């Protein structure tokens, strides 16, 4: 006889779509970009180490406070969009400053399209 508990309904678990996976990788890419930018664009050891660690740490903190699924502060979708735009724009500008305009533009366009799709899903 099996003592396994019956599965709870699948409705309680959020559905993860392709855009959600893309958004996760965009977040990771933005955080790593800010770290690379800090170490490459500023003289080492100081302020390069400070900016290389501080910029992604600040971006991760903002994301955790306002945009993560278990965010500390619950804000409306427009507030979340502002934080997302700030973090993703900082990453795109970082690529531009590092002399990689193609990466900057491609990242910005992909992030913008993904954000628009996510925003439409949230507001529907």
Question: How do the domains of the chain map onto residue ranges?
Answer: 18-123
**pLDDT at res. 7:** 56
Residue 58 CB neighbours (<10 A): 13
Crossing angle for the helix pair 18-41 and 48-62, to the nearest 10 degrees: 160
Q: Is 7 helix (H, G, I), strand (E, B) or coil?
A: coil
pLDDT in tens, the chain (124 residues): 555 555 555 566 778 899 999 999 999 999 999 999 999 999 888 898 999 999 999 999 999 999 988 999 999 999 999 999 999 999 999 999 999 999 999 999 999 999 999 999 888 8
81 close to 23: Cβ distance less than 8 angstroms: no
Give the integer Cα–Cα distance in Å for 124 and 41.
Answer: 41
Cα separation, 20 vs 26, whole angstroms: 10
pTM for the model: 0.85
């Amino acid at each position: 006889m099996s003592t396994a508990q019956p599965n709870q309904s699948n409705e309680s678990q959020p559905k993860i779509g392709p855009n959600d996976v893309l958004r996760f990788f965009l977040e990771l890419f933005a955080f790593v970009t800010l770290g690379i930018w800090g170490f490459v664009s500023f003289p080492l050891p100081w302020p390069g180490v400070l900016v290389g660690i501080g910029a992604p740490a600040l971006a991760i903190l903002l994301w955790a406070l306002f945009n993560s699924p278990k965010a500390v502060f619950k804000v409306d979708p427009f507030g979340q969009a502002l934080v997302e735009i700030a973090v993703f724009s900082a990453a795109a500008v970082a690529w531009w400053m590092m002399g990689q305009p193609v990466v900057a533009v491609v990242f910005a366009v992909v992030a913008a399209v993904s954000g628009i799709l996510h925003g439409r899903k949230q507001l529907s």
